[in-house]
Amino acid sequence: MARESQEGHQVALDYGPAQTAIDELTEIFGSRLTVSPDARERFGKDESFHPSIPPDAVITARSTEEVSNIVQVCARHRVPVIPYGTGTSLEGHVAALHGGICINLQEMNEVLTVHAGDLDVVVQPGVTRKQLNHYLRDTGLFFPIDPGADASLGGMTACRASGTNAVRYGTMRENVLALTVVLADGRVVKTSKRARKSAAGYDLTRLFVGSEGTLGVITEITLRLYGIPESITAAVCTFPDVDSAVDTVITTIQCGIPVARVELLDEVQIDAINRYSKTELEAAPTLLLEFHGSENYAAEQAQTVQELALDNGGSNFQWTSNTEERNRLWQARHDAAYACKVLRPGGTIWATDVCVPISRLAECIRETREDIKASNLIAPIAGHVGDGNFHLCMVINHDDPEEQSRADALHERMIMRALAMDGTCTGEHGIGYGKLDFLIAEHGDAVSVMRSIKNALDPHHIMNPGKIVRH
């Protein structure tokens, strides 16, 4: 794998003692600052296989002003700052690699303003996607980005999340209109107004979307909203092999059918879901689809895709507009990673993903499945294949060095294959510290540009250090 030479790029880290900042912040925040070992352990761990690396203290913030105060103190003492939403990230994003202060944003959980006429909403970062849609339910509007976990919208913004609806509604990148951000020196900036387009200067909003807390702490988010569709139809179809399923997806997209969701699950993943969620799906490569629109339009889309599926050997095509049935189906899909644990009780889940141009998707998945077989590992595949994104969920024994080595090799082969196909090492999980080397393999010299931006906005590298770029 291509690795970056660190020569000439290193920043001397000169962090001060965290205790000095802790003492000062305790005077301000009192019991909202904790150094409890249990709390520190919890806030140093996300849902990935990466171990907990605890911060020196955890502070619960409740406003932009409080976040600014915390960052100012940390900046003065050169103590690292790690933002924390719900901890659903998958590449070690919340690990305190250099110690420091974790800012818990969970109590910044207010929906501030709904502009129904403009189809947008302003929220604090601790609001979760489910909370927002519950709040919006009587307005006729919803927020569609759905990564599966009930993640915080601040975390979803910071990690440029995506999910099952991306093929129709896009990702966080397309749906964040403006941000309020606390910079590394404590300054508060607003990246944009609410206008739907602007040609005024650098696009700072896009700079902070996907920055993983390395450039600043996001404290307010303006999001694009959509009208709740008149009718929503979910469909299930099985295939003799993964290639046939993927070919159906490619044809569907190329025909311009506005499908909202297209999810692929291989037979191993279906088996796990059946056991975990008590579903009775056929254990075969399966597409889960969803269509939005008027009742007639959604049904028309479903019928068209059914015909395309039949042409590719698909069978057992079933669809429903029953809300309870749809919710049960999609909840089973969202629980897919947890379901993998039933395949190997006591095993550790290592979830990863890549994304490739859709024309290369079938080839990429086929070769990855061959690698899985050769590796003799349990590794179901599920993916948001409507945009070329798929996930590998390895279930391994991390305490077995030989097995870990096989998993590492499988992981690297999958990513380097995706890069060779002009894809990306991460479709929606971000970089954290788990994929630092692969970011370099993907972007090469462009990483030095990212580092220049980091050095300009955070010269002392106190903002979530060790993520995205090395020092």
pLDDT, residue 193, reads 93
Phi, psi for residue 123 in degrees, rounded to 5: -130, 160
Domains 231-337 and 338-435 share a fold: yes
Determine contact, residues 44/104, Cβ cutoff 8 Å: no
Q: Closest Cα partner for 385 from 190, 246, 279?
A: 246
pLDDT digits 0-9 by tens, 181-194: 999 999 999 999 99
**For residue 173, how many other CB atoms are within 10 A of its CB?**
16
> Element (H or E) spanning 428, and its range?
none
Determine contact, residues 253/358, Cβ cutoff 8 Å: yes
pLDDT band at residue 4 under the 50/70/90 scheme? very low
**For residue 241, how many other CB atoms are within 10 A of its CB?**
17
Report the CATH architecture of 338-435: 2-Layer Sandwich (3.30)
Q: What is the DSSP string of 286-330?
A: EEEEEEEESHHHHHHHHHHHHHHHHHTT-EEEEEE--HHHHHHHH
Six-digit token string for 427: 């479709």
Burial class (CB in 10 A: 0-12, 13-18, 19+), 300: middle
Q: Closest Cα partner for 333 from 269, 255, 408?
A: 269
pLDDT, residue 9, reads 53
Q: Is the dihedral of CA 212, 213, 214, 215 positive or negative?
A: positive
- Quick one: what percent of the chain has pLDDT higher than 70? 97
Determine contact, residues 145/129, Cβ cutoff 8 Å: yes
**For residue 18, how many other CB atoms are within 10 A of its CB?**
23
pLDDT band at residue 375 under the 50/70/90 scheme? very high
Domain 111-227, CATH: 3.30.465.10
Q: Is the dihedral of CA 451, 454, 455, 461 positive or negative?
A: negative
Topology classification of domain 18-106+444-457: 3.30.43
Collapsed DSSP state (helix, strand, coil) of residue 390: strand
CA atoms within 13 A on the CB side of 401: 0
Axis-axis angle for helices 242-254, 361-375 (nearest 10): 160
pLDDT exceeds 50 at position 77: yes
Specify whether the backbone of 445 is left (phi greater than 0), alpha (psi in -120 to 50) or beta.
alpha
Strand order across the 33-34 sheet = 33-34, 57-60, 101-104, 81-84
Q: CA-CA distance, 284 to 145, in Å (whole number)? A: 28
Determine contact, residues 66/448, Cβ cutoff 8 Å: no
pLDDT digits 0-9 by tens, 424-434: 999 999 999 99
Q: CA-CA distance, 181 to 67, in Å (whole number)? A: 10
Segment 6-24 mean pLDDT:
78
Q: CA-CA distance, 116 to 118, in Å (whole number)? A: 5
* Residue the block writes with tokens 């993640």: 151
pLDDT digits 0-9 by tens, 237-264: 999 999 999 999 999 988 888 899 999 9
Report the CATH architecture of 231-337: 2-Layer Sandwich (3.30)
pLDDT digits 0-9 by tens, 205-231: 999 999 999 999 999 999 999 999 999
pLDDT exceeds 80 at position 10: no
pLDDT, residue 321, reads 86
- Ordered by start, the domain boundaries in the chain are 18-106+444-457, 111-227, 231-337, 338-435
Mean pLDDT of the chain: 93
**Cα–Cα distances in angstroms (integers) from residue 298 to residues 54, 110, 286, 324, 457, in the given order:** 48, 34, 20, 17, 47
> Element (H or E) spanning 141, and its range?
strand 141-142
Segment 332-345 mean pLDDT:
90
